[in-house]
Amino acid sequence: MRHKSKPSWRFIGLFIILLAIIYGIGAYHFDSNNRFLPNTKIAGVNVGNKTAHQASTLINKQLANRKFSITQNGKILTSFNTNQTGFTFHSSSLKSALNNQTSWSWPLHLVSSVEASKTTKFSSTTVNSSQFNKLVATETAKLNQNRTASTPASLKVSNGKVTTTDAKQGNQVDVTKLATSLKKALTNGATALKLDSSVYKTAQANSSAKTATDAKLVKEIVNEKAVINVGGHKVTIPTSDLAKWITYNNNQISLNQRLVKAYVTKIDNKYKTYGKTKTFKSTLRGTVKVSGGFYGWSIKIADETTALTQEILKGKSFEREPVIQGTGYNTKKQIIGNTYVEVDKKNQKMFIYVDGKLKLKTNVVTGLPPKQTTTTGVWSVWAKKRNTTLRGNELDGTAYASKVSYWMPIDDTGIGIHDASWQPTFGGTWYKTHGSNGCVNTPPSVMPKVYKLVALGTPVIVF
């Protein structure tokens, strides 16, 4: 009976040695010659057994003629040649891929391909950023021509009533997201990019929350109790006006400044005292009406419009005093008050009242009529000086210089109250022929008391 022969252990050993030699020669070949392992792919191009320089030339040649498409749902939306992308694979960049490959694994590459870019990041110098970004911008514009933009949540206000619209996701492509996806696809050697919602522009994430917050604030503004305390008069702004004033533009709540200004102006016209004829209860002539003079106050329209707007936009009830300009403002509904100087030109008398009590009464000499008569109006003492010289011109043009011990100017033309030692008499009809240049001439013996009683800002009624 015959037995099957078995390979000798010697033959097996020789075969193993032969394989080891072939394996070592292969590893040495790829390592010492700086060549890519078999079936190595970079950007989709097989560069097996190529040097870095050879691979660079081969890749760029193939990329120059390769068509790249952007698709969606199986339909090509746009396409371009890869040489338009600004991608260039330099041999210096490819050397890093060579250095990272394991030459001892060359047998595995004989049966399967390996994409080098999966393990190797090429430097940014391989991409012309300007050219790439220009291409992405162009393609994004093409893709978005017939697409719907994402819309943030919105709010509309009309007469204080709020209408809101929820945010909506569109399908327009985001240029930055497309650039990221496209760069990844090109680096991996892909020839197409499937478009999906991951590259869409997203609706503003916080728009709904802001819209809700703004809607709440609008309702709070409409329901405010907004009170302006002007000169002691409390004026409540109607909620219907507040509702009309509210505007909403560019996601910002504001007030129609034209309407707010008109309202402030209306209040000012009603309550201001500046420029208005003032009714005054005189000492000797009963109730008189006095026009003129700069004594009085008014609302500073522009400043108050801004301040009132800021207060209203807080959405909380408030009471405020307006921004005031002028003199004599108070919250007691008083126009002149009970401390003042009264100059009665007809009776040539001056009276000084402090806190409603008559403190001083004296004869005076007012301006020579008709050209130098003391100007009628409600004025105020805006300065006090001792021992000064008053200078001016007589009617004939002659200059004068009068020394006085006490001087209190009341208007802006040089008229005031002062002692007049040159006047031999005061009161009566003396002023008709020997009147002053416009000032209120006061007896020197009385003027020290006047100076002491009258404080800065005291109103002076001349009538």
Non-local (6+) Cβ contacts of 93 within 8 A are 122, 123, 125, 126
The answer to whether residues 316 and 349 belong to one domain is no
Most confident of the ranges 18-27, 109-118, 290-299: 290-299
Does residue 333 lie in a domain region?
no
The answer to whether residues 23 and 171 belong to one domain is yes
Pairing of the two strands 252-255 and 246-249: antiparallel
Confidence of residue 49 (pLDDT cuts 50, 70, 90): confident
Q: Is the pLDDT confidence value at 123 over 70?
A: no
Measuring CA to CA, which residue among 294, 295, 291 is closest to residue 340? 295
- Whole-structure pTM value: 0.64
* Residues of the chain by 3-state class (helix, strand, coil), percent to 5: 35, 30, 40
Does residue 33 lie in a domain region?
yes
Does residue 332 lie in a domain region?
no
Mean per-residue pLDDT, 213-242: 95
The answer to whether residues 360 and 261 belong to one domain is no
| C-alpha 407, offset from chain centre | 51
Q: Quick one: pLDDT at residue 120?
A: 42
Distance CA 52, CA 58 (A): 10
pLDDT in tens, 315-360: 999 999 999 999 999 988 889 999 999 999 999 999 999 999 999 9
Q: Which of 293, 326, 359 is the last residue of a domain?
A: 326
The answer to whether residues 216 and 135 belong to one domain is yes
Considering only residues 241 and 101, tell me which one the structure prediction assigns the higher pLDDT. 241
pLDDT in tens, 386-395: 999 999 998 8
The answer to whether residues 233 and 298 belong to one domain is yes
Confidence of residue 92 (pLDDT cuts 50, 70, 90): low
The answer to whether residues 133 and 68 belong to one domain is yes
Q: Quick one: pLDDT at residue 18?
A: 62
Q: Which of 174, 207, 222 is the last residue of a domain?
A: 222
Q: Quick one: pLDDT at residue 102?
A: 57
Q: Quick one: pLDDT at residue 51?
A: 80
Considering its fold, how many domains does the chain have in total? Answer: 3
Mean per-residue pLDDT, 60-68: 78
Most confident of the ranges 5-19, 120-134, 196-210: 196-210
Burial of 393 (0-12, 13-18, 19+ CB in 10 A): exposed
Domain that holds residue 230: 223-326
Mean per-residue pLDDT, 100-107: 55
Non-local (6+) Cβ contacts of 267 within 8 A are 228, 230, 235, 299, 322
The answer to whether residues 186 and 297 belong to one domain is no
Q: Is the pLDDT confidence value at 173 over 90?
A: yes
Q: Do residues 44 and 53 make contact, with C-beta atoms less than 8 angstroms apart?
A: no
Report the SS3 class of residue 386: strand
The answer to whether residues 391 and 451 belong to one domain is yes
Q: Which of 60-64, 139-143, 303-307, 447-451 has the lowest mean pLDDT?
A: 60-64
Does residue 298 lie in a domain region?
yes
Confidence of residue 188 (pLDDT cuts 50, 70, 90): confident
The answer to whether residues 175 and 239 belong to one domain is no
Confidence of residue 20 (pLDDT cuts 50, 70, 90): low
Distance CA 43, CA 51 (A): 16
- Asked if omega into 370 is within 30° of 0 (cis), the reply is yes
Q: Which of 291, 326, 361 is the last residue of a domain?
A: 326
Q: Is the pLDDT confidence value at 6 over 70?
A: no
Q: Quick one: pLDDT at residue 1?
A: 44
The answer to whether residues 233 and 212 belong to one domain is no
Q: Quick one: pLDDT at residue 187?
A: 79
Q: Annotated catalytic sites, by residue?
A: 418, 439
Q: Do residues 103 and 37 make contact, with C-beta atoms less than 8 angstroms apart?
A: yes
Please provide the size of the chain in residues: 463
Measuring CA to CA, which residue among 100, 67, 93 is closest to residue 82? 67
The answer to whether residues 286 and 371 belong to one domain is no
pLDDT in tens, 201-221: 887 655 667 888 888 999 999
Mean pLDDT computed over every residue of the chain = 86
Distance CA 372, CA 366 (A): 9
Q: Quick one: pLDDT at residue 416?
A: 98
Mean per-residue pLDDT, 282-295: 97
The answer to whether residues 78 and 212 belong to one domain is yes
Q: Which of 127-141, 197-211, 244-258, 275-289 has the lowest mean pLDDT?
A: 197-211
Q: Is the pLDDT confidence value at 64 over 80?
A: no
Q: At CA 136, angle to CA 135 and CA 138, rounded to 5?
A: 65
